[in-house]
Copies of this chain bind each other. A is one copy, B any other.
Amino acid sequence: DFQMALNEVHPAFGVSEEELEQVIQNGIIHYDAVIEEILKTGQLFVEQVRTSTRTPLVSILLHGPSGSGKTALAAYMAQASEYPFIKLISPDFMLGYGEPQKISAITKVFTDSYKSPLSVIVLDNIERLIEWTPMGARFSNGVLQTLLVLLKRRPPKGRRLLVIATSSLRPILTDLGLSDTFDSELRVPPITDLVSLEYVLQEVQLFNSDQERHRAIRMLQDAGFTANKNDYDSKLQIGIKKLLSMIEMARQEPENVAERLTTALMGLGM
């Protein structure tokens, strides 16, 4: 069930619950086994931080193309940890901050976390935090350096911290000097096969009947999309986030839902 994920989680005191829920507003849909794997690996790290005394700091990176669900998955893992300290660092809360303000806001969350025996920090959207733009390869070196230090600085004795970062900058991590920073990296892929797509369509009840949904899928097959996700020629390449947005758009024209969806998905490749 598509709302199930959230309800299973009961975060403890001192947690920025509202902010986390905001980013998983549309729930986690299990359209593919990879989602389960990612969540399970996250759980393992949560356990490692809780139990191993030799690794008081563990940092992992969720990376993948735009809209593939990184933020939602990171927030979900954080909530599921049930640690007493759970915080989201997001560019959304730092609009208009100058570089020094950003640096001190980010640093403060880490310093605060050192007061709790067990903490998890979601460091969302590294590219936006460092104000990255491909044009001229510009970014805030000050924020980047702060992250480079914070992601390696051990918490004080007796404190443990898990950092879950998200980014779509994987291709240039090395150039930014971030390649050796994380203990582990997990890829969050886009949807590339019709089986996953159909699963999503069903979950969000875009169509009133199975029949209509099947018809839409056939229409997509006719348009050249393939069911097999290992097919490297697959024309389908869409993040769950954009897919959900397209579905709502299509919903506006009840008489033409399948056509509009097909057109929208085909428009992506261009």
Contacts and interface: CB of A to CB of B under 8 A. Distances in A.
A5 interface: no
A48 B141 contact: no
14 contacts: A22-B154, A44-B252, A48-B252, A52-B251, A54-B248, A95-B103, A131-B145, A133-B145, A133-B176, A133-B177, A134-B174, A135-B175, A135-B176, A183-B245
A177 to B, nearest CB: 5
Interface in A231-270: 242, 244-245, 247-249, 251-253
B96 A132 contact: no
Contacts of A131: 141-142, 145
**List of 4 A-B pairs having minimum Cβ-Cβ separation, nearest first:** A66-B180, A52-B248, A55-B248, A135-B175
B153 A92 contact: yes
A221 interface: no
A248 B220 CA distance: 47
Interface string A9-52: 00000000000001001100000000000000000110110011
Interface residues of A, number: 63
A144 B140 CA distance: 13
Q: Is the interface of A mostly helix, strand, loop or mixed?
A: helix
Nearest to A97: B103
A142 to B, nearest CB: 8
A52 B252 CA distance: 8
Nearest to A154: B22
B175 A148 contact: no
Contact of A100 (B98, B132, B148, B157): B98
Most buried by B among A26, A44, A96, A204: A96
Given A44-B252, A154-B25, A249-B184, A95 B149 contact: yes
A128 interface: yes
Given A131-B145, A135-B139, A174-B134, A183 B249 contact: yes
A49 B197 CA distance: 23
Interface string A158-186: 00000000000000101111001001100
